[in-house]
Amino acid sequence: MSGIPGLRWMENGQASLSGPLLELERRLERMFLSWAAAEGAAEHRFPTFLPARELGKLDYFRSFAHLVTFPVALDPAQPNLEQFACGEPMTDDGEIRLTRAAPIRDVLTPAACYHFYVAFQGETLAAARHVTTRATCFRREAFYAPLERQWSFSMREIVCIGTSDEVKAFLARREAAAEAAWRRIDLPIEWKHATDPFFQPSKNPKYLAQKLDPVKREMVFQDRLAVGSSNFHRNCFGEAFHIRRAGEDAFSGCIAFGIERWILAIVTRFGPDPGAWPDLETG
Amino acid sequence: MKSEPEVRAALRDWVVRTNGQVSPADIRDDTPILERRIVKSLDLMDLILFLEELRGLPIDVEALKPGVFRSIDAIWTNFFAGASV
């Protein structure tokens, strides 16, 4: 797969795109953005880091210890910097020899929509709120594969925060639009119930709750690769971030698209020749 | 063996007691208690232990299927009304 023109793969689980692949990425984005526009969703652009204390409100670190990536910096004390700079800062195989690290208080974005709940915390919503963002997300994995499983990848999300009924209706509309699109362009994708990839799931009551009351449906390409998902968060984020709607903790839901995986699905299904790729702009 | 009304009342009492904020009038037998997070994920193991005690039979957690705890109705159907989950 790394032989696709326009794809440059790095063994640390990252890819760069150019040429027709980058154009395909832009066409996919226009399709996703047209679905966001159908909801009147306001677009937001967030920074790369999230404060760790915010994700801590979700017990994120216990639930996803195996996925999280932290930004690390040196302790700025002069002796520490001198010790780092005057020694051998890097080994021959490219590993940084850290001296003392500064306290870690941030996390590299693990999923795009977290930013919204942090941004809207403490608010009381007079109506359902629809928003969208695209973020570079970071997840450590046991292995990486180009466009399929990357340490950093791109996620487009469309989010609704509102009452339970508002969120469910939103998810139903967005699921129907996504399904109509993949049927029209003839991508073999099917919905499948899934759970979040918890650390030690059998020890995590949240995993049991998701299993017993499914809240996540994945768009699974060729029966093996999830290219997106529809997620009903119930009022988990509303409660954790004190977002209120209609006199109670707000409910929320999102539909998320893994952009590199959509690219891979199209290239796998239609081949590397851009002339054979489907028109994504209509419908 | 408790009667159906006794079981349903015991379930409602447990839900109200565990939640601590809702009143019995808030909980209908078809209220989706997980979806609305009236019963939260952290309460699930307590609920399973409570059900085991209430019906006098163990529950195989690995075998639990989606929806079995959806509401008091679903719990009655899946764990008491002649079912053997």
Task: Enumerate residues 6+ apart whose C-beta is below 8 A from B5.
Answer: none
Predicted confidence at residue A209, as pLDDT, reads 87
Predicted confidence at residue A173, as pLDDT, reads 98
CB contact under 8 A, B37 and A234: yes
Q: Give A132→chain B minimum CA distance, Å.
A: 24
- What ipTM was assigned to the predicted interfaces of this complex? 0.80
CATH number for domain B4-81, candidates 3.20.20.100, 3.30.470.20, 3.40.640.10, 1.10.1200.10 = 1.10.1200.10
The whole-model pTM stands at 0.91
Residue that has been written with the tokens 């409602």 in this structure? B12
Residue that has been written with the tokens 């063996």 in this structure? B1
Q: Give A165→chain B minimum CA distance, Å.
A: 11
> Which of A195, A213, A245 should be substituted to probe chain B, the one whose Cβ sees the most B Cβ atoms within 10 Å?
A213
Rg of chain A's alpha carbons, rounded to an integer?
A: 20
Asked if B44 reaches chain A (Cβ–Cβ under 8 Å), the answer is yes
**In this complex, which of B41, B65, B67 lies closest to A209 when CB atoms are compared?**
B41
Tokens of A240: 């954790």
Q: Give A29→chain B minimum CA distance, Å.
A: 32
CB contact under 8 A, A235 and B70: no
Q: What is the pLDDT of residues A148-194, one digit of tens each?
A: 999 999 999 999 999 999 999 999 999 999 999 999 999 999 999 99
Contact between residue A242 and residue A122 where contact means Cβ atoms under 8 Å apart? yes
Neighbours of A74 (CB within 10 A): 17
Task: Enumerate residues 6+ apart whose C-beta is below 8 A from B43.
Answer: B18
Residue that has been written with the tokens 């399973």 in this structure? B48
Asked if B74 reaches chain A (Cβ–Cβ under 8 Å), the answer is no
For range B23-36, the mean pLDDT = 93
Tokens of A20: 């027709």
Supply the angle between the helices B4-19 and B72-79 in degrees, to the nearest 10: 130
Task: Enumerate residues 6+ apart whose C-beta is below 8 A from A172.
Answer: none
pLDDT reading at A1 higher than 60: no
